[in-house]
Chains A and B, each alone.
With several copies, the nearest count.
Chain A
């Protein structure tokens, strides 16, 4: 069976696998792949007579909030959001993320937008999935130049949440909180342990069950293309058009 699965579809499928136990997934701005994954997981949950709530901040329709822009953060702090996605211009081996810039702060060499809500969300949402498509030594670094939000905290710090996974174009890592270290878990097609070692700036463990990323089956691909694509086109029209021509 050749479904001509696209790279983006494969990534969406990986993320959807991680949302199966959730009641409420929230997706920040400019995140079409996480957004599509959340909607796919919501659709699939119906088959198990389960309700998954999806909040997509970029969309009016999937924005469940009515208390203004602060409600996402309050809601997360209350423990009402199970999964949230964060990115990073740099991510390091301790799961520290940098959304601010490279070089020495404050007058960095290259300035990026800023930390957004990450310094809170990373602490309070139980499952943070780090998602950064580019997998290279410049994105996955030994130490970030600026810690927008730390991967781990001391025991006396209130932290019910934190990093659980890191997904890139090439691989899926689990994060081990005790060892403060990522563990390679899934490889994209055409990737090997060696290629990942070469392209990753930090040390990582290798999961004993390391395997290839599961391909989405025909049912999932059909759900994605027929049912989810039109939804996505509503709030990420450019993305939906590029991937699915809708």
Chain B
């Protein structure tokens, strides 16, 4: 007996409404590319992307396809294939709102929600233009009498709760537990999301919790609202430990995405594939 909801990718996409705040995993955490493709096919609009802490082609494709109105991130990049062209152009032209952030702040805002506290303090960052451009961040004088120097400015970051998180992973067990290994940022993301959907390479007929060590590699089923089996669901991105990224495809994308027309051409093919 499977004790969790098994969905099709389309059923997961059906849960993504226009305008929601969507959690975006980094390239090393399992990028749900098949899901992203279906999301673009659906024509979703005005997504707000929250990247932990960055995105590669997933974000660039969603932006180029006109699905995104806002992105909060530490970086958008195609890595060794250079800049993310649709992202860069959308920012340069003011087509999307960019909330420039930094990795530790993106983690901390989710950790605040993880603990249900209204904010998290962070050191560093103060005095940067990253900080100065974030009107939702506040600086207070360190209120803790027992610590710090006089008038030490401390940055307070607001708790951020995601509407939906979708990521791709290698395995789920029969109870819906997801093997994430060292990618514990996925746990932080899940804890801070109202809904969590996961695409996996395979559901295996075992119980990861039967053994303390394999239990330690899991994100527990209690945080998961639905699972869909999708072979190669991260392609052309890598799925760490399972397959490498398809560099030929990403290179092809990086060239096509340089202009909107050639991006559109590329996507026509990609969405059918």
Q: Which A residues are closer than 8 A to B by beta carbons?
A: 24, 29-30, 51, 53, 55, 60-61, 63-70, 72-75, 77-80, 99-101, 105-124, 146-150, 153-159, 238
Contact = CB atoms under 8 A, between A and B. Distances in A.
Contacts of B84: 113
B152 A118 contact: no
A66 B219 contact: yes
Interface string B85-102: 001110111100010111
Contact of A153 (B28, B73, B87, B126): B126
Contacts of A99: 75
B151 interface: yes
B75 A116 contact: yes
Contacts of B182: 63, 65-66, 68
Contact of A65 (B101, B116, B128, B220): B220
A156 B104 contact: no
A159 B191 CA distance: 19
Contacts, number: 199
A115 B126 contact: no
B140 interface: no
B98 A73 contact: no
Nearest to B77: A113
Given A106-B91, A158-B152, A114 B115 contact: no
Contacts of A149: 125, 128, 130
A115 B52 contact: no
A32 to B, nearest CB: 10
B46 to A, nearest CB: 18
Interface residues of B, number: 74
A8 B54 CA distance: 28
Given A113-B76, A158-B148, A106 B191 contact: no
Contacts of B100: 100, 106, 114-115
Interface in B105-130: 105, 107, 111, 113-117, 122-130
A5 to B, nearest CB: 25
Interface in B24-58: 26, 28-29, 52-54
A154 B153 CA distance: 10
Given A51-B3, A148-B128, A153-B127, A119 B102 contact: yes
A156 B73 CA distance: 28
Contacts of B117: 77
